[in-house]
Structure formats: structure tokens, C-alpha cells
Amino acid sequence: MSSAFLQYLFSGLTIGSIYALAGLGFSIIYNASHVINFAQGEFIMIGAMATVSLTGLGLPLAAAIALAVAATVLVGAAVARFAIMPARGASPVTLIIITIGTSVFLRGAAQVLWGKGYHALPSFSGDTPFVVMGATLLPQSLWVLGTTLAVIAGLGWFFGRTLYGKAMLATSCNRLAAQLVGIRVSGVLLAAFALAALLGAVGGIVMTPITFTSSEAGIMLGLKGFSAAVLGGLGNGAGAILGGLIVGVAEAMSAGYLSSAYKEATAFAIILFVLLFMPRGLLGQPGSERV
């Protein structure tokens, strides 16, 4: 294995993890409401920008992160409460359009609040890269990979072991039946948005030392996260992670071995190809459509 290959793999996995974290948020909200939340990228941006501005105020990094995550969760809950729930009976397409409007609103608000410049966060544990067989890996990449693993484990526990998580899954499978057995389904939507915002914020914060952030950062991350979620199979958490990693590694490999001009195109070509033959994505359930 050449050092160049290893380097492409490292950068692909790092960036892929970032896409995966972004994609997970799409899946969770899709499960709870069959809405594709195009404001997911803005949750990522808000988490990152809030952390930057709070550390700028002199807060220690850990406190700034905690506050920024809490703030993003509040924003997520507010989006569900004030933008999605009032339009309850509307079709998913209408709700999707509402989320696009929400994303434009959040982006604009962030521009007014934080300005239009680019911002950086210091790396959590230094900038000295590890050298592995001639390829280099930043400590922050390990933070991103570790966070992704922790999030996967946490979500697995939440949906598999806790009553509330199971209630959310039940609501996504059959809303009416869930309601009949006594689950408060309106609370589930709120919780899904709060959880997606939490994931977005955490992802945004750990990736910022690598990618920088700005009030516009959510657009690209939202798009890539959505691609990851669709590739893996919308609504499937493991699929979103797999999708994110595939997109990330494919981008890095194509930049390395083909031409960097095709870097973005390769990822989208893979997605198109997969969806052509597997319309539900790699891990999507071939289940029946509700009428």
C-alpha cells in the first residue's frame, strides 16, 4: 500500500465522517416525519458559528461547545414547533419547501448576527500530524472519526434500548398505530428535530478546526449530507454513515487517481448510478409504500 493511497484514504475517511454526521440528521427527521429537512446544514453551521463566537467572548472551549450545542438544540426544537407543526396536515412536499425557507431564514439570521467572514476554531489536541507509513493524519481527524463512532453507538443505544427511542421508531413505522398505543406523536417530531440539531451541532463543531466555517457553510454540508443519506437509503442511520464514507473516499480517490477536476462529479456520478439500480439506496428497505 503506497503512502499516497493511504493519504487519500485518510482524507476520504475524515471528510466522509463529516458527511456521515450531516447525513444522519436527515435520516432521523425523515424517519419521524417523512420530511427531508433542508435546514440540516444550517444546524451544522449554527453549532460551529456559535462555538466560534462564544470562544471569542473568552469562554473555555468545553463550555462554549456545551452552550452552542444547547443553543442549536433549541433552534431545532423551535423550527419544529414554529415552522413544521403549524403546517401539520400539509403534504411532505410542502413541508420540505418550508424547511428550505427555514434554511434561508437561518442563514440570513446568522449573517446578521455573526457577519459574513470565515472563522476558525483551534484544534482540540494540537496540530502536529501523526505520520503513518508516510501518510499524515491530523489529531482532529481522529476526533471526527471518534465522534462519528460515538454518535453511532449513542444512537444505537437510544433507538434500541430506551423506551423513548423505541417510541420514535414506532411512530416512524406506523404513526396511527403508535398513536393508538399511547405514544405522543407530536412530541416525537419535536424530539426528532432537537436530536437532528444536536447531531448537526456536534458534527459542525468537531469538523470546524479542519474545514473552517462561515454563515454559508451549511449549504455545502447540507448537500453532501443529503447525498450521503440518499446513497445509504433515506431513513436508515447505518446507511447514512456508509453513504457518507463512500462519498468522502470516492472524492479523495478520484482527486488522487483521476483528476481533481472530477472530484465532486465522481461522488455524484456514484450516487446517480446507485440510485438508478437501487432506488432505495444501499441499505434502504424495499418495504411497501403507504397509500
Partner 1 sequence: MSVLSSAVTAAFGGVLAVLLSFTGSGALASGAVAETIKIGSFLSVTGGASFLGDPEKKTLELEIAAINRQGGINGRLLDLVVYDDGGAADKAASFVKRLIESDQVDVLVGGSTTATTMAAVPLAEKAGIPLVSLAGAVVIVEPVKTWVFKTPHTDRLAAEKIFEDLRKRGLLKIGLISEDAGFGKSGHDQSLLVARNFGIEIAADEVYSAKDPDTTAQLTKIRNTPGVAALFNFGFGQGPAVVTRNVRQLGLTVPFYQSHGVASKAFIALVGAAGEGIRLPASALAVAGQLPDGDPQKPVVLRFQQAYAEAYKTEASTFAGYAYDALHMVVEAAGRAGGVDKAKLRDELERTKNFVGTTGVFTMSPSDHMGLSLSSFHLVEIKNGDWVLLD
Cross-strand bridge partners of residue 119:
213
- Contacts with partner 1 by CB under 8 A lie at 4, 7-8, 10-12, 14-15, 18, 82-83, 86, 111, 116-120, 127, 129, 131, 136, 138, 207, 210-212, 214, 216-217, 219-220, 251-253, 255-256, 260-261, 263-264
Nearer to partner 1, 138 or 178 (CB): 138
Nearer to partner 1, 148 or 236 (CB): 148
- Minimum Å gap between C-beta 274 and partner 1 is 22
Nearer to partner 1, 70 or 87 (CB): 87
- Minimum Å gap between C-beta 65 and partner 1 is 20
How many other CB atoms are there within 10 angstroms of residue 152's CB atom? 17
- Minimum Å gap between C-beta 264 and partner 1 is 5
Indicate the burial class of 205 (C-beta count within 10 angstroms; 0-12, 13-18, 19 or more). buried
CA–CA distance, 187 with 276 (Å, rounded to integer): 36
Nearest alpha carbon to residue 62 among 72, 53, 73, 51: 51
Nearer to partner 1, 167 or 271 (CB): 271
Nearer to partner 1, 117 or 286 (CB): 117
- Minimum Å gap between C-beta 180 and partner 1 is 27
- φ, ψ for residue 115 (rounded to 5)? 80, -175
What would you report as the CA-atom Rg of the chain, rounded to the nearest whole angstrom?
19
- Minimum Å gap between C-beta 222 and partner 1 is 11
Indicate the burial class of 177 (C-beta count within 10 angstroms; 0-12, 13-18, 19 or more). exposed
The percent of the chain in helix, strand and coil, each rounded to the nearest 5, is: 75, 5, 20
